[in-house]
Amino acid sequence: MRLSQYFLPVLKETPKEAQIASHRLMLRAGMIQQSSAGIYSWLPLGKKVLDRIAQIVREEQNRAGALEIMMPTIQPAEIWQESGRYDDYGAEMLRIRDRHDRDMLYGPTNEEQVTDIFRNHVRSYKTLPLNLYHIQWKFRDEVRPRFGIMRGREFLMKDAYSFDLDADRAREAYNRMFVSYLKTFARMGLTAIPMEADTGPIGGDMSHEFIILAETGESGVYFHKDWLAADLVTSVNYDEDLQPVVDKFTSLYARADEKHDPDNCPVSDGDLMSLRGIEVGHIFYFGEKYSAAMGATVAGPDGANVPVHMGSYGIGVSRLVGGIIEASHDDKGIIWPRAVAPFDVAVINLKADDETCTSCAEDLYAKLQTAGADPLLDDRDERPGAKLAAIDLIGVPWQIVVGPRGMKNGVVEVKNRRTGEAVEISPESALTMVMSDA
């Protein structure tokens, strides 16, 4: 992408309304624009990161055996009346009436909708196990939308729903999602600790939140200090029994604050960490809660009809954009992990009216594309300082700076955004260096 042809409305001033780093940086880097409280437009840079995160989530869901579908944002009230949640959900639900006076709602979650799909099509246990997911916008009329997209009213969620014949098999489905979440967050460069949690309006009796540590996080968390050194990258495959893997993680104490009882905590004061975190995922097992209420039954091996056992599994896809920035930034701006970066490398031409610089920058840009990278070329007619600051701000992992001084010696400067390390090398070596960090 040529920056001269891109839409990157960076802000010089720090927006006053933004209280935390990720919100400030997303506004300054031209990633989002507020439409109304808790509702945002995603501009090209923001949309690109959002898509990259969604794609990692999608790949890991598929790998775990879940099947992608797409359910609507607008749902009929009837199915929520059947489950009993239409009244329970309260003011957070945005209720809509259509021209025929039918009660509709903008979905805050999809347990009812997916249970309705299931009961219309599945009759036998032979179709099980089944796990259906989608990546779709949700609306919750939060009392206090804040921190930008971190607690929005409209937000993008991946929500998966598992269907199994009995509680043991449902536990296997839960374990698969548990492990897939560890893999998903690790791919994004995040350390997300699974913590026992309350089930809230989703219901059920087993639930884990996946929480990344951040001072500005909304959740208070308590956990054994060994978590700080724990290796959360799992190399297991889904054909083995995952219970020991899940046990290994759940045996080490970690609780979201509502589940932490200081009087009955097994961890000694000296080993207990009390910090803040951001909930990026939440998984639930709730058995027959929706299937029994809505008549989602299957014929078991003995021919008798039984309600299926279900679980639901959410990831805050749009929240993750903010979460990753909270975990990875400095005073100059964002530092994207390569896996979610909007561009792999920025080629910065410091002097757009210099022929040697321009031909070198253009040549590098073309070669990076041919090599399969996604480069950004800063070909704008701007002050060098402004260019360097903008590229630091938007957090592209590598920078190749082409300037008249270096060109005299046939070198460019390659800078790693995270470490700040810079070297002067030939354009060919720069290409090799950037391409070897895939």
d(CA 210, CA 428): 43
Smallest separation, CB 379 to ligand 5CA (Å): 36
202 binds ligand 5CA (CB under 6 A): yes
98-127 residues in contact with ligand 5CA (CB under 6 A) are 109, 111
d(CA 142, CA 283): 20
d(CA 336, CA 371): 21
Q: Interface with ligand 5CA by CB under 6 A: which range of 116-124, 220-228, 312-320, 379-387?
A: 312-320
Angle at 82 between CA 77 and CA 86, to 5 degrees: 45
376 binds ligand 5CA (CB under 6 A): no
Q: Which is nearer to ligand 5CA, 116 or 159 (CB)?
A: 159
The site map against ligand 5CA for 82-101 (x = CB under 6 A) is: --------------------
257-286 residues in contact with ligand 5CA (CB under 6 A) are 279-282, 284
Long-range contacts of 358-366 (CB under 8 A, 24+ apart): 360/402, 360/407, 360/412, 360/427, 361/402, 363/427, 364/400, 364/402, 364/412, 364/427, 364/430, 364/431
Q: Which is nearer to ligand 5CA, 39 or 273 (CB)?
A: 39
Smallest separation, CB 312 to ligand 5CA (Å): 4
* CA–centroid distance for 392 within its chain: 22
Smallest separation, CB 247 to ligand 5CA (Å): 23
Smallest separation, CB 331 to ligand 5CA (Å): 26
Is the Cα torsion angle 383, 387, 389, 390 positive or negative in sign?
positive
| Contact in structure between 307 and 291 (CB atoms under 8 Å) | yes
Nearest residue to ligand 5CA, by Cβ distance, number only: 316
75 binds ligand 5CA (CB under 6 A): no
Q: What DSSP letter does each residue of 148-207 carry, written as one string?
A: GGGB-SEEEEEEEEEEESSHHHHHHHHHHHHHHHHHHHHHTT--EEEEE---GGG--SEE
Q: Which is nearer to ligand 5CA, 118 or 284 (CB)?
A: 284
d(CA 342, CA 268): 43
Q: Which is nearer to ligand 5CA, 106 or 313 (CB)?
A: 313
Which of 49, 395, 23 is CA-nearest to residue 216? 23
Q: Which is nearer to ligand 5CA, 194 or 397 (CB)?
A: 194
289 binds ligand 5CA (CB under 6 A): no
Report the interface residues with ligand 5CA, using CB under 6 A: 109, 111, 140, 142, 151-152, 155, 157, 159, 202, 279-282, 284, 312-314, 316, 318-319
